[in-house]
Amino acid sequence: MKNIVLITAKGGNTSIKNKNLIEVEGKSFLGWQLTAAKQATLVDEVFVSTECPLIASEARKYEAFVIERPAELAQAFTNHGDAILHGAKEARRIMGEEIEFVTILLGNTAYNRGVDIDQTIKKLQENPEATSCMTVWQAQDDHPYRAMQINGQGFLEGFLDLKGADTNRQSYPEIYFYDQGPWTVRYEAMMACERGKTGPACWWWMGDKCLPIVREWVTGRDVHTKLDVEVTRAWINNKLWEI
């Protein structure tokens, strides 16, 4: 059985034009992800799911397989999981071989390394009852207890209906957020997932037994603004993965 990396990278971006192809320190964001995938020792093949000819051309420079994503799965409000399942099935068809693990990467980040991908695969190998593994960071400052919304009168109010919530973040239950790193999932478990009924939070394609790898926040961020690009540049230039 084979292990694959599936990078999702659609065109038509609305936040920053062609953000997957923005170059940072000599490589596009997609190029950084492809490099990480190629460096992973437990990965057999690398695929890029896209509808964009420019992204497809960049993927082929790194000798990755290109999966032609249908237009209906490349819209601004397409559910990411639907595109992922399509890509995994196409990868299985293209290879003509059974797949054990699928590691999903985002095309608009440069934070991942081959060792990060291998770490998620190894954790699943060591825990056969688990369906998947994902990288997360602990976020007490951004806790739902502190979340606010603007009401109909234009005033701030708590997002949750909490009375007397403590200002001390250490008193809150521990919570975690996905940090834009590797998602690795067993192929068969992914195929058994049902949208809205499996997986942690909105990541339904990960199944109901998802293992965490808790990392520092700086290890993950995808790109939606020009600030994100500059933060990534600083991360690479200062080799912050060594901290």
Tens digits of residue pLDDT in 77-133: 889 999 999 999 999 999 999 999 999 999 999 999 999 999 999 999 999 999 999
Paired residues of 48 in beta bridges: 7, 66
C-alpha span between 86 and 97 (Å, rounded)? 16
Predicted confidence band of residue 238 (pLDDT cuts 50, 70, 90) = confident
Beta carbons of 156 and 150 less than 8 angstroms apart: yes
Tens digits of residue pLDDT in 174-208: 999 999 999 999 999 999 998 888 999 999 999 99
Place of tokens 């099935």: 89
Q: What does the block give as tokens for 9?
A: 């990278």
CATH numbers and ranges of domains, the chain: 2-135+176-242 (3.90.550.10), 140-174 (no CATH)
> φ, ψ for residue 181 (rounded to 5)?
-95, -160
C-alpha span between 191 and 189 (Å, rounded)? 5
243 has pLDDT over 90: no
**pTM (predicted TM-score):** 0.93
Q: What does the block give as tokens for 171?
A: 């008193």
Percent of the chain surpassing pLDDT 70:
100
Exposed e or buried b per residue across 67-105, where buried means at least 16 C-beta atoms within 10 angstroms of its C-beta = bebeeebbeeebebbebbbbbbebbbeeeeeebbbbbbb
Mean of the per-residue pLDDT values of the chain: 93
C-alpha span between 41 and 222 (Å, rounded)? 24
